[in-house]
Structure 1
Amino acid sequence: MDFLLFSLVTIIIAAVMQHLRRRRFNIPPGPPPHFLVGNLNQLKPQWTQSFSEWSQTYGPIISVWLGSQLSVVVSSSDLAKQVLRHKDYQLCNRQRTARMTQNGSDLIWSDYGQHYVKLRKLCTLELFSLKSIESFRSMREMEVRSMVRSIFMDLMSDDKKPVMLRNYLSSVALNIVSRLVIGKTFEPKEGKEFKSIVEKETRLPGATKLLDYTVWLKRFSSWFTSDKAFLKHMARRKNWFKEAVMGEVYGGGEQKCFVQSLLELKEKNELSEETVMGLVWNMLTAGADTNAITIEWAMAEMIRCPNVQEKVQNELDSVVGSKRLMSESDIPNLPYLQSVVKEALRLHPPTPLMLPHKASETVQIGGYKVPKGTTVYVNVQAIGRDSANWKNPYEFRPERFLEEETDVKGQDFRVLPFGSGRRVCPAAQLSINMMSLALGNLLHCFSWTTSTPRENIDMTEKPGLVCYMKTPLQAIASSRLPQDLYLNFSQKCI
């Protein structure tokens, strides 16, 4: 009884302190928080939707209380520039809430410091430099052409059957990234297990939202939750990694893959096994998911807007012709295709909220105080759909990027699919090349439509850190090129 009384008093005191904290700081306005839970119970499954709606009421910078944790969300390009450029140094750390990221020994979830700088430099030199991107170009082309051949062979067996594009896109993206990172594609069983593990992480049972975000209840989490599921999952992930990655014999190939460099540093005690595993996991999950997501959204938009699809195909026919398949070297000569990729990234950024930043000290943003320890989100999706930045922002219109030269790699704060500042995605150029190559080949080789009315395509977003289509896109494909190009692509492509 005394213990329960003590717990109740502790909760009340903490709640009072939280209330005083809100009054003490000139923090941004926002929806009134409720006792203990803050605004958690008001959030819709797709957080960006709630944040965008609240921004319409309270302004482009808002305070949202996730339990006892203060979060500040910015939804305008000017405020994003303050967060990611002017106050970048104070806001470049990561807020880690999910237990899979608690130690921050990898690249994506580490705080900014010597460890992060070392890992980023390593990734840039080995994977994302212009020299490295060019050296692996033929590999990317081969994987994309293999995807084209697979689609064509399926059409040969049944040309009326809808194509589940996500299956092909996920496979080709994972194959490209895995060959880049570990020098091989996964065996079907390994690839299936990897995808299952990644999917499991998005719905792993564990601490509830209240326990995750309410500081004074974390110590009591063992009363309500068990670590068994979490520990079992982490053991499964580690076992997969040891068998699929560490179990390989590396060396002897024409090109040294990324994991070889990591293992050499591990042997010199410059990297821990945990960091090696974290880096490889970062590259595989981030690289495979985000590229496939963007291409699927772009294809859905072009099926809904056949005039856009026709314009891309006319450009491809003019530049590439019908005697070979498209290669990466064609991309600079395909401005409309490039604009389609940019428009898909603007309207459907794969990470709509960007990963959470953390204030390492109290800073001023938009005339308000953001206390030390606050989580800061940049609502990239809202910025890309802001009518102050874009005319008819919800319309899929690639021409807007032809009318005005716009950078999508972090310099123009109206469109930030790769972030900006110290934490900008180092793989931006590689991702754009991959998306342009895959999308160009899909449109050059096939025409796409749907068996249902175009307006009935489900464009709902699936809640999560990354923004999948809730209903996977199914489309009817028909070939556009001579048959021998699909079957003998290795000889016919330049």
Structure 2
Amino acid sequence: MVLLLIPLATIIITVFMLYQRRWRSNIPPGPPPRFLIGNLNQLKPLWTHSFSEWSKTYGPIISVWLGTQLAVVVSTSDLARQVLRDKDYQLSNRHRTARMTQNGSDLIWSDYGPHYVKLRKLCTLELFSTKSIECFTFMREMEVRSMVMSIFKDLVIDDQKPVMLRNYLGSVALNIVSKLVIGKKLEPKEGKEFKSIVEKETRLPGAMKLLDHALWLKRVSSWFTSDKVFLKHMARRRHWFRQAVMDQEEEYGEREKCLVHSLLVLKQRNELSEETVMGLVWNMLTAGADTTAITIEWAMAEILRNPAVQGKVQHELDSVVGTKRLMYESDIPKLPYLQCIVKESLRLHPPTPLMLPHKASESVHIGGYKVPKGTTVYVNVQAIGRDPTNWRNPNEFRPERFLLEETDVKGQDFRVLPFGSGRRVCPAAQLSMNLITLALGNLLHCFSWTSSTPREDIDMLEKPGLVCYMKTPLQGLASSRLSQELYLELYAKID
């Protein structure tokens, strides 16, 4: 017992000295931390809400202690510019906590360096170049039309049954991303298993915020707990990956060019490990499918709460597209109000409201305060998008605000940052915008939507997590807007 107390006492004394040194330094103000656990006990399940409330008290840049780890949170566009542009190089590393991030061998969780640059360049050339985006336009259009037909067929069976949009949106987004990444759509069984694995990850013990951030507690807990659950989950993920991706390696040369084809070539040359290949494919599948479905669901929720917006965008669609055909991706530049709806939804409901955590590779100064080396830095994108100094009536869903001025949402305008900015900006921003606008436009062109409950009762609460799902899946009543012959013609083409 005495031998156990000695290292524990050493840890406590070391941590106390660290606190004392940092409290005396010029770090940003923030809520007083408790010894060893910091501010973890004060955090609400939705961290963005706690950060926003503390910012009103302590200022737009605050210090928050996540256990023994110092985090700095910025909540204004000017401070975001300093983090993501002015001090971008020093703040481009990743803070990895949850064990799902592994050792940073993938793209999303790797530190900024040669490995990250290599993977990002590969993804950009294979998936996200202008040429690549144009080449896969037809595939995206066909998948969106397949979603429209699925909804239409369900309406033929029972047009009074509410449509749970998440089911359709999740499928179309995953189909498109999997076709881009692995050159095929996932089989129903593969897709179901993939979604189950992703959902399981959010409930693993290793994702608990206290164990993730309180290093001393993590070390102590490891003496009494095993990793069996985590290891079993990772074995399940590897098994899925090998069956869905690796076991069909010989087929990739015969398919349309995709990311995995290039990854496997590099793996054969020993330039990439299998762990990196799996991590990169997992990044693309999870991030691409989730964020697309999330954004469209939030946009549809706001539209159901604001029928006038639906009327305006459908008038625009009828004027540009007409009622004799469906909307194509090439129609998007001629549909400014539809584009404004997407931007307004991303402003109010960014898929990752805190971005992913950055980490200081060296000490820097932000907003006049010191950010010590090793500090985790969060950009509160949701708070910035709702900042009244940037936006009039910021909590109101009003797409017209984007008609007044041209606003970039892909990293150049720091008032709205759904895709981040700087070295870690999302490489798929343009592809995401195209897909979101295409899918949303077809939903509104092909169907009229009303809420299955009173508009004021639509649950607009968020589900806690890195990505911001609606807590209650959105349901709406749909009715066909176009001629039945057009749907039948579409059915014949898809079938």
Smaller-chain TM-score range?
over 0.9
> How big is the shift at 1:489?
1.8
Contact in 1 for aligned 2:183/2:255 (Cα 8 Å): no
Distance 1:374 1:226, change over 3 A: same
1:185 aligns with 185
Corresponding letter in the other structure for 1:427: A
1:385 aligns with 386
Deviations along 1:279-318, one digit per CA (max 9) or x if unpaired, are 1101000000000000000000000000001111000000
Contact in 2 for aligned 1:324/1:492 (Cα 8 Å): no
CA distance in 1: counterparts of 2:209 and 2:225, whole angstroms: 12
Contact in 2 for aligned 1:14/1:216 (Cα 8 Å): no
State how 1:141-290 maps to structure 2 within 5 Å: 141-206=141-206, 208-248=208-248, 249-251=250-252, 253=254, 255-290=256-291
DSSP 3-state at the match of 2:286 = helix
Contact in 1 for aligned 2:354/2:380 (Cα 8 Å): yes
> How big is the shift at 1:384?
0.3
DSSP 3-state at the match of 1:134 = helix
1:131 aligns with 2:131: yes
Corresponding letter in the other structure for 2:420: G
> How big is the shift at 1:206?
3.1
CA distance in 2: counterparts of 1:151 and 1:212, whole angstroms: 42
1:326 aligns with 327
CA distance in 1: counterparts of 2:121 and 2:303, whole angstroms: 38
CA distance in 1: counterparts of 2:301 and 2:209, whole angstroms: 33
Corresponding letter in the other structure for 1:417: P
1:21 aligns with 21
CA distance in 1: counterparts of 2:274 and 2:5, whole angstroms: 45
2:71 aligns with 71
CA distance in 2: counterparts of 1:275 and 1:467, whole angstroms: 26
CA distance in 1: counterparts of 2:36 and 2:266, whole angstroms: 46
DSSP 3-state at the match of 1:247 = helix
> How big is the shift at 1:258?
1.3
CA distance in 2: counterparts of 1:378 and 1:433, whole angstroms: 25
2:95 aligns with 95
CA distance in 1: counterparts of 2:460 and 2:232, whole angstroms: 35
Deviations along 1:104-126, one digit per CA (max 9) or x if unpaired, are 11110000011110100000000
Deviations along 1:307-351, one digit per CA (max 9) or x if unpaired, are 001111000000000110000000000000000000010000000
Contact in 1 for aligned 2:183/2:252 (Cα 8 Å): no
Corresponding letter in the other structure for 2:85: R
1:416 aligns with 417
1:300 aligns with 301
Deviations along 1:252-297, one digit per CA (max 9) or x if unpaired, are 5463111111111111111111111111101000000000000000
CA distance in 2: counterparts of 1:216 and 1:472, whole angstroms: 38
Contact in 2 for aligned 1:444/1:480 (Cα 8 Å): yes
Contact in 1 for aligned 2:299/2:342 (Cα 8 Å): yes
Distance 1:155 1:491, change over 3 A: closer
> How big is the shift at 1:183?
1.1
> How big is the shift at 1:9?
2.2
DSSP 3-state at the match of 1:484 = helix
2:427 aligns with 426
> How big is the shift at 1:224?
4.0
Deviations along 1:208-260, one digit per CA (max 9) or x if unpaired, are 53332223333322234320000000000000000011122424546311111
Contact in 2 for aligned 1:325/1:492 (Cα 8 Å): no
Contact in 1 for aligned 2:105/2:279 (Cα 8 Å): yes
CA distance in 2: counterparts of 1:124 and 1:8, whole angstroms: 48
Corresponding letter in the other structure for 1:68: T
Distance 1:252 1:110, change over 3 A: closer
CA distance in 2: counterparts of 1:75 and 1:352, whole angstroms: 11
Contact in 2 for aligned 1:303/1:448 (Cα 8 Å): yes
> How big is the shift at 1:15?
3.5
Contact in 2 for aligned 1:71/1:375 (Cα 8 Å): yes
Corresponding letter in the other structure for 1:453: P
Corresponding letter in the other structure for 1:161: K
Deviations along 1:332-380, one digit per CA (max 9) or x if unpaired, are 0000000000001000000000000000000000000000000000000
> How big is the shift at 1:189?
0.8
Question: Identity, % of aligned pairs?
Answer: 80
Corresponding letter in the other structure for 1:386: D
DSSP 3-state at the match of 1:63 = strand
DSSP 3-state at the match of 1:477 = strand
1:406 aligns with 2:404: no
2:485 aligns with 484
TM normalised by structure 1 equals 0.98
Q: Structure 1 residues 132-141 or 443-452, which shifts more?
A: 443-452
CA distance in 1: counterparts of 2:385 and 2:80, whole angstroms: 12
CA distance in 2: counterparts of 1:262 and 1:231, whole angstroms: 25
Q: Structure 1 residues 450-459 or 437-446, which shifts more?
A: 450-459
1:452 aligns with 2:446: no
CA distance in 2: counterparts of 1:100 and 1:188, whole angstroms: 25
DSSP 3-state at the match of 1:476 = strand
Distance 1:182 1:34, change over 3 A: same
Distance 1:224 1:348, change over 3 A: farther
Contact in 2 for aligned 1:206/1:226 (Cα 8 Å): no
Deviations along 1:139-182, one digit per CA (max 9) or x if unpaired, are 00000000000000000000000000000000000000001111
Distance 1:444 1:111, change over 3 A: same
Deviations along 1:413-470, one digit per CA (max 9) or x if unpaired, are 0000000000000000000000000000000000000131100000000000000000
DSSP 3-state at the match of 2:205 = coil
Q: For this pair of structures, how many residues does the alignment match?
A: 493
